[in-house]
Chain A
C-alpha cells in the first residue's frame, strides 16, 4: 500500500489519494455525513462581500482564499501554524487560516489584508489605508513584505483583544508572527504608534 502510493503519487500532489470527481454537491445537514468525494455548499462573508461557495471538506481557509478566490494577499509561509503569515480575522478574531478548514467556518465573516482598509471606515490612514497599514509604511515595518499581511491582520486582531499595552506586552502578543527579515523593532513601533492614536481618539471621545 505504502509502496503503491510512493510509485503512483508524487508526495506534494493534492490528488495523491486517488483521482476523484467533485460532481456531487451537498448542503450540510447536522448529523448526516457528507461523503468524501462531495463538495459542500457554504456561505462566507469575505471582506464585507457575501459569497456562496462550494468547497471540498479538506480545503483550508487559506487555500480557499488564495487558490479559489484569488485573494493572494494572505500568504502561505509554513502551512502548519508556525509562522503567522496566513493570519486573517474570522468574526473579528485573528486565527491561522492554514489550520482552519473552510467548511467549518460556514457562516463566518472573514477579513483578509485586502479588507482591512474597509474595516477602518476611511479612518485616519492616508491613501485609503487602514491606520495600521499607514503606520507600517510610516515606520518602514517590513523589508521583503512577505510576513506583512499576517502582521497587519494579527496586530489589528491583537488590538481588538485589548490585552497588550506595553512594548513588552505587544512583543509577546505578536510572537505568533515570524518575520524572516527581522523587522520586529519597526513593527512594534508601528503598532505602538497606532495604539497611541487610538488612545488619543478615545480620550477625545472621538467616534470611530
Chain B
C-alpha cells in the first residue's frame, strides 16, 4: 500500500474541504473496495479522507419514500423493516451480493462507487485505460468471460459489479450529492456512465463530490418483483448476469414494467423500449420472450462471453415470470423456479 495522508472528517464541509488542494485525495467509507485496490497498487491515493464519522448513517422517511444515508451499511439497508416491506427488490439484491462480513462494512455510497472487477484493471502489469488512461485495454481479445455485452467501447469493455445498483436502477432512485460547487441530485440512470473514450470515469460525480444519500421514490413495486443472480458459484461471487424485475399488474395486464440487468455493461443496463413493449400486454411468457429478444438484439459479445447473450435472454424471461407470479428468487434455496 502506498503512503497517504489521513484526514478524519467531522462534518461534510470538512470532507469536501479536505479534498480540495490534495491531489489524489479519495474518500474512504467501508474500505472493502478501496483498501483492496490500494493493496494491489491499482489506486494510490495521496490522501484518504475518512468519512465514516459523518452523520449520514440513517434511513429516514422522505417524500413518501425513503432517504438512505450514504453511510448506511449494506446489511443495515437490506435488513431494515421498511426496506424489506416496501423495497424487497433492493433488500434481495443486496443480500445476493458479497458476504455477511463484507455487507456489514460496505456502505451505500461505497457500493455505488465501487470499481470494476476486470482482471486486467487489477493487474498493474497489463495495460488498462481505466487504471492508466491511454495505455490500452488488455481485456479486448483476452479473457473476457466476465466482461460487457452491452454498451462497451473500443477503450473499455468492463462491467459495473454491483448488485445493489441494479435494483436501484430498476427502482429509479435518486442520488443526492454535494461538492465544491454545491448540492445536486442525479437520477440513478445518469449516475453511472458508459466507458466511451474516457473509461477512467465510472460515473458522473465531479472531483470532490461526495454522495450524501440515495433516495427511494414512493412507487409501490413490492408485490411483483425478483432479483435473479446467475454466477459461477451459488454465493459470494459476482454476477455473470443478473436481472432486477418489477411489475405492476392490473389483473393479467402489465401496467408498469421495470427491468435492469447487472454484470453485462459498464452500468446497470436498462432498456426503456423493452419496458415499453411490456406495458399494456398480458403477463405471459410470449410477452416476456418478446421483450427479452428485443433487449439482447443489441448485445455485442466479446471473444469469450457469447454465452452471456443467451443467459441474459433466458434470465430476463425467467425473471419477469418470477415477478409476474409473485414468486421472487429465494436467496437460500438456490433452485431457480
Contacts and interface: CB of A to CB of B under 8 A. Distances in A.
Q: Which of B2, B22, B79, B105 has the most CB of A within 10 A?
A: B105
Interface string B117-129: 0000000000000
A33 B9 CA distance: 9
Contacts of B236: 175-176, 178
Q: Which of B40, B48, B101 has the most CB of A within 10 A?
A: B101
Contact of B5 (A35, A98, A168, A174): A35
B5 A94 contact: no
A118 interface: no
Contacts of B206: none
Contact of B53 (A30, A34, A84, A94): A30
Interface string B7-48: 111110010011000100000101110011011100000011
Interface string A1-41: 00000000000000001101000000011111111110010
Nearest to A104: B50
B8 A94 contact: no
Contact of B35 (A32, A60, A93, A169): A60
Nearest to A32: B7
Q: Which of B6, B8, B104 has the most CB of A within 10 A?
A: B6
Contact of A30 (B3, B10, B28, B105): B10
Interface in B139-184: none
A79 interface: yes
Determine the interface band of chain A, counting residues with CB < 8 A from chain B: 35 or more
B13 to A, nearest CB: 9
B35 A31 contact: no
Interface string A161-201: 10100101101111111100000000000000000000000
A197 to B, nearest CB: 21
A190 B35 CA distance: 33
Contacts of A158: 100
Given A101-B28, A175-B235, A57 B9 contact: no
Contact of B105 (A28, A80, A95): A95
Contacts of A96: 32, 101-102, 105
B39 A31 contact: no
A104 B17 CA distance: 19
Given A33-B47, A57-B4, A80-B36, A104 B101 contact: no
Given A163-B79, A169-B332, A174-B100, A99 B7 contact: no
Given A96-B101, A176-B102, A81 B36 contact: yes
Interface string B321-337: 00000000001110000
A34 B79 CA distance: 36
A74 interface: no
Nearest to A93: B104
A30 B14 contact: yes
A87 interface: yes
A157 interface: yes
Interface in A99-147: 99-101, 103-104
B1 interface: yes
Contact of A99 (B10, B47, B100, B105): B105
A174 B153 CA distance: 38
Given A30-B14, A32-B7, A94 B101 contact: yes
B36 A95 contact: no
B52 interface: yes
A160 B22 CA distance: 41
Interface of B: 1-11, 14, 17-18, 22, 28, 30-32, 35-36, 38-40, 47-48, 50, 52-53, 75, 79, 98-102, 104-105, 234-236, 331-333
Interface of A: 17-18, 20, 28-37, 40, 57-58, 60, 79-81, 84, 87, 93-96, 98-101, 103-104, 154, 157-158, 161, 163, 166, 168-169, 171-178
* 6 nearest A-B residue pairs (beta carbon): A176-B99, A30-B10, A175-B235, A57-B6, A31-B14, A36-B3
9 contacts: A18-B3, A28-B6, A31-B10, A81-B32, A94-B104, A96-B32, A168-B332, A172-B332, A176-B98
